[in-house]
């Protein structure tokens, strides 16, 4: 039983480090580039998938404790290399687009209709690039009637 707990904890440690650098690359190369006012902690907490986190924790814990050192070094090294690549601006931006962007959405408010790409959906606001206005807009979620 203690070996299972040790595997889970070591897997959680490695997964947390991987997540930290993944979201750091997203923050630096997507959120900051688009001038979205958002703290790292909020980005990390709001977009963390707990199921993937625990699945990856169990998997990495098993790999580090039960497989040979050479295999675990190759797997962890490859994962760290992939996640650290998000610190490269083009890679970080592309990964963030895949995770965060919603293409071709329509937002209806009482007075206006906005059509474009939602770059980020925050706790209180949508950050949408309106294609007609050719401008990034911040729309409060409370003012939205419909979203398609």
Write down the pLDDT at residue 68: 85
E strands within 46-124? 102-109, 113-121
Write down the pLDDT at residue 25: 96
For 102-143, how does the pLDDT look when each residue is reduced to its tens digit (9 = 90+)? 999 988 888 888 899 999 998 899 999 988 888 899 988 888
For 1-14, how does the pLDDT look when each residue is reduced to its tens digit (9 = 90+)? 688 899 899 999 99
Long-range contacts of 2-9 (CB under 8 A, 24+ apart): 3/65, 6/61, 6/65, 7/58, 7/61, 7/62, 7/64, 7/65, 7/66, 8/57, 8/58, 8/61, 9/61
Does the 101-147 domain belong in CATH 2.30.30? yes
Q: Which strand (E) or helix (H) includes residue 128?
A: strand 125-130
Q: What is the domain partition of the chain in residue ranges?
A: 2-99, 101-147
pTM: 0.87
């Amino acid at each position: 039983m203690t070996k299972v707990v040790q595997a889970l904890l070591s897997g959680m440690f490695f997964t947390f480090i991987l997540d930290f650098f993944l979201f750091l690359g997203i923050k630096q190369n997507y959120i900051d580039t688009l001038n979205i006012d958002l703290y790292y902690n909020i980005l990390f907490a709001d977009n963390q998938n707990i199921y993937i986190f625990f699945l990856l924790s169990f998997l990495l814990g098993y790999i580090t404790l039960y497989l040979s050192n050479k295999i675990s070094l190759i797997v962890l090294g490859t994962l760290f290399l992939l996640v650290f690549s998000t610190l490269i601006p083009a890679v970080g931006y592309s990964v963030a687009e895949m995770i965060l962007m919603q293409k071709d959405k329509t937002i209806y408010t009482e007075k206006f209709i906005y059509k474009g790409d939602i770059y980020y959906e925050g706790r209180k606001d949508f950050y949408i690039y309106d294609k007609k206005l050719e401008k990034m807009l911040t729309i409060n979620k409370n003012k939205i009637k419909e979203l398609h």
